[in-house]
Amino acid sequence: MESYVEDLKNRRLRAERMGGLHKIDALHAVGKKTARERIALLVDEGSFLEFGKLNTSEIPGHEEKSSGDGVICGVGRVDGRPVVVQAGDKTVFAGTEGAVHIRKTKAAHAYALKRGLPLVNLSEGGGLRMPDGMGSDGISDKLFPQEMLTHHREVPMVTAILGDSFGGPTWLAVSSDFVTQLNGTCMGVAGPRMLEIATGEKIEEEQLGGVEVHHHYTGQIDQSAETEEECIAQLKVFLSFLPSHSEEEPPLSLNDDSVERRVDQLLSVVPEKRNRAYNMKKVIAALVDNGNFFEIKPEFGPALLTVLTRIEGRSVGIIANQPMKYAGAAGVQECEKATDFICLCDSFHIPLIFLHDIPGFRVSSEAEKGKIPTKIMMWNQALAQSTVPKVSVVIRKSVGAAYGNMCGPTMGADFVIAWPSAEINFTGPEVGINVVYGRELMLSENPKEDREKLLEKWSFDSSPYKAAAKHLIDDVIEPGETRQFLAKTLELACYKKGSISERKLANWPTGF
């Protein structure tokens, strides 16, 4: 028996060396970490249980150089909670996917779904491996796995792109609930070399699928970072706001920030003049526990903020207009961003708070080419189907159809309230007066004075008191009371069955 045990030890040692010590040294020489080192950064010390450690490629002759077949899988704990981990191994065939690799990741994904464990992908790799995928027989059992296609947000799935990733790692990323990408890496369907061979197009990796492309154009990543440590820390922060699976609420994280705390400093944050910009992030920081929040897609659709945070220790999602960008007006990207975030929060029982300061949508011929009518209605459809608790606060202005998209009256909010400075109307006063009274003002002997009178009347009609008087909104509150109001209404909205939603949006695609 001792000889058997000794043989097992040797096999395990060989597996732990992955593609060989020389390849590990080569990674370290360029400042990169191995798959095992990345897992160690993610999970609690001593908690990782590896599956398939003795796997190798099934291609004859490759056994000695294919430990794990390019991926390391197992279960570990993140801040005490178990998660399933998949980490691409660059030292084995550049992390490409062979038959055993695919079989192992499918099993890991299936286990995460079966036992209600979040799935964490530490990704790097070149897609399907040529020898394993060639031929009608090679490709026929290596198409998109059903576990990924029918994931249904049963458990959170998060991905860190930590090296150049094509094919499989990209499919996983764009199917995930949260994606972070290491600066200097590329994520795409195929790499520059394949692109040049197939189409003749020559392009650098970062121009093809670098973080700037995904931040500003595709929206396929939610965060990025300069180091692998930062990327993995972002995964852990994101997971801290979510439940482990779809049948439980997010965990409470109690703190010493009193829900009775007033936020009177907001009187000096939000300008009285409606055409002056301010940073909505300062409003959010004042309202939430200890000023801490985690922003999702900060550079995509920048006129809209989507953040995960806490109020009274409860995970909440905030959708807020950002007057610092386009005066807060939403375009195509902002619509996609809102829809995606509503689907995330509703699927994982995270209550939603809406903070309005929006003059409408950014309409233009380019916006029409980008299908903005469709994007606006997709946002509305997601909002209408969401069943988590929702509280809506009109901070300054909420104009036209955008009032509905930001969860105004009749859009399913538990409570809709406004600050006394709020402006609610079909259109902004300047535009409305130009449309309705434009000809009359042109013929006026004193157009400036007449315009001021009309603006004064229009402002009165736009005030929240008319809607409050007819019980079309629930109340008008002091700005300083906003944190208290949010805490109390969230507690009421979650009284019967917590924040558990009906998960009608769980099957909504993670990209559209």
Contacts for 322-326 with beta carbons within 8 Å, 24 or more apart? 322/279, 322/280, 322/281, 323/277, 323/278, 323/279, 323/280, 323/357, 323/396, 324/277, 324/278, 324/279, 324/280, 326/302, 326/362
Distance CA 219, CA 224 (A): 12
The amino acid at residue 197 is I
**pTM of the predicted structure, to 2 decimals:** 0.91
- pLDDT for position 98: 85
| Assigned token pair, 211 | 């973080």
- pLDDT for position 151: 87
Instruction: List residues bridging with 11 in a β-sheet.
Output: none
Phi first, then psi: what are they for 84, rounded to 5°? -90, 135
| Residues 6+ positions from 420 with CB-CB distance below 8 Å | 463, 464, 465, 476, 478
| Residues 6+ positions from 507 with CB-CB distance below 8 Å | 152, 153
What count of Cα atoms within 13 Å lies in the side-chain half-sphere of residue 153?
A: 24
- pLDDT for position 430: 61
The owner of tokens 């990345």 is 38
- pLDDT for position 438: 65
User: How is residue 185 annotated by DSSP?
Assistant: -
In order along the chain (512 residues), what is the average pLDDT of each group of 10 residues? 92 91 93 96 97 90 86 97 96 89 93 97 85 67 74 95 93 96 94 80 88 96 97 98 97 93 96 89 98 98 98 97 95 97 98 96 91 96 97 95 95 96 78 61 74 67 90 96 97 92 93 70
Note whether 501 and 347 are within 8 A (CB). yes
DSSP 414-482: SEEEE-TT-EEESS-HHHHHHHHHHHHHHT-SSHHHHHHHHHHHHHHHHSHHHHHHTTSSSEE--GGGH
User: How many residues does this entry show for the chain?
Assistant: 512
DSSP 423-440: EEESS-HHHHHHHHHHHH
- pLDDT for position 450: 73
Dihedral, 432, 435, 441, 442 alpha carbons, nearest 10: 150
Dihedral, 21, 26, 30, 34 alpha carbons, nearest 10: -40
Among candidates 177, 106, 134, which has minimal Cα distance to 341? 177
- pLDDT for position 63: 80
Note whether 49 and 31 are within 8 A (CB). no
- pLDDT for position 437: 61
Among candidates 66, 61, 57, 74, which has minimal Cα distance to 17? 66
Burial class of residue 477 in the structure, from the number of CB atoms within 10 Å of its CB (0-12 exposed, 13-18 middle, 19+ buried): middle
- pLDDT for position 428: 62
Among candidates 315, 427, 406, which has minimal Cα distance to 357? 406
The owner of tokens 């509150």 is 477
Instruction: List residues bridging with 125 in a β-sheet.
Output: 165
Distance CA 348, CA 153 (A): 8
- pLDDT for position 97: 87
- pLDDT for position 441: 66
The owner of tokens 């286990």 is 111
SS3 19: coil
- pLDDT for position 256: 93
What count of Cα atoms within 13 Å lies in the side-chain half-sphere of residue 491?
A: 10
Distance CA 172, CA 360 (A): 35
| Assigned token pair, 80 | 């005490």
